[in-house]
Amino acid sequence: MLSLPPLALLAALLFVATLIPACLAWRAGRRNLREGLRQRVEAKESGSFQPRLEHPWIDISRCIGCASCMRACPEEGVLDILHGQAAVVHGSRCIGHGECAAHCPVGAIALTMADRKSRNDLPALLPSMQAHGVPGLYLAGEVTGYALIRTAVDHGRRCANAAWERKQKVGANAGLDLCIVGAGPGGLACALEAKRLGLDFVVLEQDRIGGTIARYPRSKLLNTHPLELPLGGRLEGRAYHKEELMKVWMDLCTKHQLPIQEGEILQSVHPNADGKFSIQTQNQSIQAQSVCLAIGRRGIPNKLNVVGEELMKVNYSLIDARAFKHGKFLIVGGGDSAVEAALGLAEQPGNQVHISYRRAEFFRLRSRSFLRIQEAIRDGKVKVHWQSNVHRIEQDRVLLKREDPALPLLGIPNDEVFVLIGGLPPLPLLQEAGVSFDPNLQPKQELIEKGSGLVLPLAFAAASAGTLLLWGWWHSEYYQAEPLQQIVDPRHSWLRSASGLGLVAGILASIMILTNLTYLLRRNRRLPLEWGSLNRWMSLHIATGLMAFAFAILHSSFSFSNHLGGHTLLGIMVLVSTGGLGRYFYSFVPRAANGREQALESAQLQLMEDTKAWGEVHRDFGEEARRQMAALIDRTRWKSGVLGSILGLVRAQLDLRKTMQELIQVGRSMKLDAPTLNQVLKVARKAHRDALIASHFESLRTLLASWRFFHRWVGLLVVLLLIAHVVVSLNYADLGASG
Ligand SMILES: Cc1cc2nc3c(=O)[nH]c(=O)nc-3n(C[C@H](O)[C@H](O)[C@H](O)COP(=O)(O)OP(=O)(O)OC[C@H]3O[C@@H](n4cnc5c(N)ncnc54)[C@H](O)[C@@H]3O)c2cc1C
């Protein structure tokens, strides 16, 4: 017979197994939080905190801090876990992949727009991609402000469908059904979908097929998402070299004989009185019922307008860095194109690569470019001249002027210059066509916190508990009877665990546990199991957990006996409780910590603002107060160990009193008037109090965060107990039947 470990020993083992990782997590959590907060302050200072367009919005009433979003994001540093919940750090690095939202198991992330009201370079569009107030004129891809291949493809498809619907409504006319301008990803997807729908269309392209992709440096690696191309099937990969993607496009163009006219520059689009459009290029004029403008945002390359720019060595794009070896190069600019060009050139033998950038740091780079350029700078492969502007270009050198006018001009020996400072977006052309850029026409987006969503599972749990109680009450005579009496009860054969309903309940409980575990498979990003949203899987995880518990109670005949089955039931109970705590209650504490953190930030800001507004003597005192409070808050908050944190909190009041007395003395020695002194002390005290409360919340949050460890370990234990219980039950079925 198998000897069963006593319950107390199991509990002690579990406690130790949980305590050690929880303590380690406490330390690591504190370190990460400190680092994360520091990075956010830096991001705010450099401007990279501010999102450009699409970016994640986190519902902190729901976020459970599991970091799935962070791990799923292909860009580095957009999200971090601060105070136990996800938070945006480098918002400007977000380019709208949307992976964070797709991988959030509790639906706490929505993609939202940066404040579009503050931008007057974004076209006002209807959800069908039609320009506001211009029926039949559609925009696709980057011209709408979204910078992803996947989005451009999606837009293109939607535009073709809208044109098809328009044709159904208005009826066929003389002229084309659709004129597509631009043969980048947006225009090509539109053309393929138009072909699929049987529309009569043409594609006008000023340059050549491929759009921006065709102009990427050779072998550039592109991050993308699995893509559904009209008539092209699904591209499953997440990363492609430029050449691979270009081949896919070119093959599709040939296979479907898309009517693409290269070298045709769109000059104007005019809506006519009859609802059609007149499209004018340098060579021809076309009539079409609908127009799709997929012309990107690069427009005409920006120029430096300096002496020497007309020299042959000045370029505005770099396609193949391999053509440039053993040379001296200057790249002007600090965006993705400039950095990628610099990296491409730096990889070639014998090249000396310099960048001239007007800012003090890179701040809006895709994370991959950011990390690579940092490495290249560290390795001395690229030299950046921060806060510099080109003053003059000469045959064998370039002269840079620095931000500080006192510094002399800097001469950089040079063979080729690449000016990659963006382009003039084609806004006038769009405006002439009737596209509005009125920020007031931009769609409003209301984001509301959804709360933890406790009501539904609570109702579900209450209904299950109610049903179980009713059942137990109905057969209470059997369930409450002594074991020997139960055996002689006629209901024994179908209520006991080993047969009839009792056995079915046990089997169902096991099935529920196994189904429950499939959530872990779905969550694992290394496995290619991407069916269904993670949020739905989480709901299934919760529902099967609750049902497993209910069936296990029924299977156990409502008794917690000290054997394997009883331990399994207890394990399931702890599993359900820790899961519920993490999913539904955990978010309250970090949320409160976040709120308090904001209060602390505003108290510190107020102290800073007050200080700025005062005269010189008062200002010195304000600065001194701020410095002392910052040091005090730092001492109080950032204790790494558990014991250190507790002692730190105990000493906080003593420290505060001492600091206040010192400040009063300094204030008096500066002959400060009483109202000013009191004002500073009041705000300083408030800042300290907020810091303390934030710190308390932080400790509580860290404690609560241990639910995850309990949940995982108990989960593992339940599976092991379940296996043992099933094996033992099968082996000793005869004994069970007789007992
Ligand atoms: C350096 C860099 C790296 C990038 N990396 C990635 C990445 O890894 N993953 C990703 O998803 N996205 C990436 N992007 C963004 C992606 O390339 C764009 O979002 C995508 O190409 C937009 O497609 P589009 O069709 O809207 O515009 P474009 O690709 O810009 O195509 C517009 C086309 O319109 C033509 N055109 C413009 N004006 C006229 C006119 N007047 N008449 C006729 N034709 C005209 C142009 O010649 C061009 O061919 C990157 C962009 C850059 C610059």
**DSSP assignment string, 654-708:** HHHHHHHHHHHHHHHHTT--HHHHHHHHHHHHHHHHHHHHHHHHHHHHHHHHTHH
State yes or no: pLDDT of 348 exceeds 90. yes
| d(CA 147, ligand 1 centre) in Å | 8
Q: In this predicted structure, which of 128-132, 421-425, 488-492 has the lowest mean pLDDT?
A: 421-425
| d(CA 213, ligand 1 centre) in Å | 6
Position in ligand 1 atom list of the atom nearest CA 155: 26
What percentage of the chain reaches a pLDDT higher than 90? 42
Position in ligand 1 atom list of the atom nearest CA 212: 29
pLDDT band at 189 (very low <50, low <70, confident <90, very high): very high
Pairing, β 137-139 against β 416-419:
unpaired
Q: Which residues lie below 8 Å from residue 716, measured CB to CB, with a gap of 6+? A: none
CB of 186 closer than 6 angstroms to any ligand 1 atom: yes
CB of 507 closer than 6 angstroms to any ligand 1 atom: no
Cα R_g (the chain), whole angstroms: 33
Residue 618: in which H helix or E strand, if any?
helix 616-637
Nearest by Cα to 211 from 171, 235, 180:
180
CB of 664 closer than 6 angstroms to any ligand 1 atom: no
Q: What pLDDT, on a 0 to 100 scale, did the predictor assign at position 361?
A: 87
pLDDT band at 7 (very low <50, low <70, confident <90, very high): low
Is pLDDT larger for residue 196 or for residue 301? 196
Q: Which residues lie below 8 Å from residue 304, measured CB to CB, with a gap of 6+? A: 332, 390, 393, 419, 421
Is pLDDT larger for residue 685 or for residue 355? 355
Closest protein CA for atom 39 of ligand 1: 295
Pocket probe for ligand 1: among 149, 208, 212, 216, the residue whose CB has the most ligand atoms within 8 Å is: 212
Place of tokens 């194109």: 337
Q: In this predicted structure, which of 181-190, 291-300, 592-601 has the lowest mean pLDDT?
A: 592-601
Residue 192: in which H helix or E strand, if any?
helix 185-197
> What's the whole-number mean pLDDT along residues 236-240?
81
Q: Token digits for 270? A: 């005019």
Q: How far is CA 280 from the centre of its chain?
A: 42
pLDDT band at 230 (very low <50, low <70, confident <90, very high): very high
| d(CA 383, ligand 1 centre) in Å | 28
**What span, in angstroms and rounded, lies between the C-alpha atoms of 333 and 364?**
12
Position in ligand 1 atom list of the atom nearest CA 141: 26
pLDDT tens for 19-62 read 777 777 777 777 888 888 888 878 877 777 888 778 899 998 88
Pocket probe for ligand 1: among 54, 139, 149, the residue whose CB has the most ligand atoms within 8 Å is: 149
| d(CA 235, ligand 1 centre) in Å | 19
Pocket probe for ligand 1: among 207, 281, 282, 295, the residue whose CB has the most ligand atoms within 8 Å is: 295
Contact indicator for 77, 116 with CB cutoff of 8 Å = no
CB of 81 closer than 6 angstroms to any ligand 1 atom: no
Closest protein CA for atom 35 of ligand 1: 182
CB of 204 closer than 6 angstroms to any ligand 1 atom: yes
CB of 266 closer than 6 angstroms to any ligand 1 atom: yes
CB atoms within 10 A of CB 381: 17
Which region, left, alpha or beta, applies to residue 84 given φ > 0 means left and ψ of -120 to 50 means alpha?
A: left
pLDDT band at 261 (very low <50, low <70, confident <90, very high): very high
CB of 75 closer than 6 angstroms to any ligand 1 atom: no
**What span, in angstroms and rounded, lies between the C-alpha atoms of 493 and 716?**
32
Position in ligand 1 atom list of the atom nearest CA 185: 25
Q: Which residue(s) pair with 260 in the sheet? A: 203
Is pLDDT larger for residue 704 or for residue 172? 704
| d(CA 240, ligand 1 centre) in Å | 16
CB of 294 closer than 6 angstroms to any ligand 1 atom: yes
- List helix spans (H) across 349-407: 367-378
**What span, in angstroms and rounded, lies between the C-alpha atoms of 241 and 427?**
31
SS3 599: helix
| d(CA 211, ligand 1 centre) in Å | 5
SS3 263: coil
| d(CA 144, ligand 1 centre) in Å | 11
CB of 230 closer than 6 angstroms to any ligand 1 atom: no
Q: Which residues of 610-634 are buried (b: 16+ CB within 10 A; e: fewer)?
A: bbeebeeebeebbebbbebbeebbe
All domains in the chain, ordered by first residue:
47-117 (3.30.70.20), 137-300 (3.50.50.60), 303-420 (3.50.50.60), 455-587+707-738 (no CATH), 588-705 (1.10.132)
In eight-state DSSP terms, residue 638 is: -
| d(CA 160, ligand 1 centre) in Å | 18
* Triad 341, 347, 353: Cα angle to 5°: 60
| d(CA 126, ligand 1 centre) in Å | 22
Closest protein CA for atom 49 of ligand 1: 211
> What's the whole-number mean pLDDT along residues 333-356?
94
Average pLDDT, the chain: 86
CB of 334 closer than 6 angstroms to any ligand 1 atom: no
CB of 153 closer than 6 angstroms to any ligand 1 atom: no
- List helix spans (H) across 328-422: 336-346, 367-378
Position in ligand 1 atom list of the atom nearest CA 297: 30
CB of 183 closer than 6 angstroms to any ligand 1 atom: yes
| d(CA 591, ligand 1 centre) in Å | 40
Cα–Cα distances in angstroms (integers) from residue 267 to residues 263, 405, 433, 630, in the given order: 12, 43, 10, 60
Closest protein CA for atom 37 of ligand 1: 295
Contact indicator for 355, 384 with CB cutoff of 8 Å = yes
| d(CA 439, ligand 1 centre) in Å | 24
Cα–Cα distances in angstroms (integers) from residue 231 to residues 63, 176, 246, in the given order: 39, 21, 16
Ranked by mean pLDDT, the top range of 52-66, 183-197, 212-226 is: 183-197
pLDDT tens for 96-149 read 888 899 899 999 999 887 766 667 788 999 989 999 999 999 999 999 988 889
pLDDT tens for 302-329 read 899 999 999 999 999 887 888 899 999 9
| d(CA 318, ligand 1 centre) in Å | 15
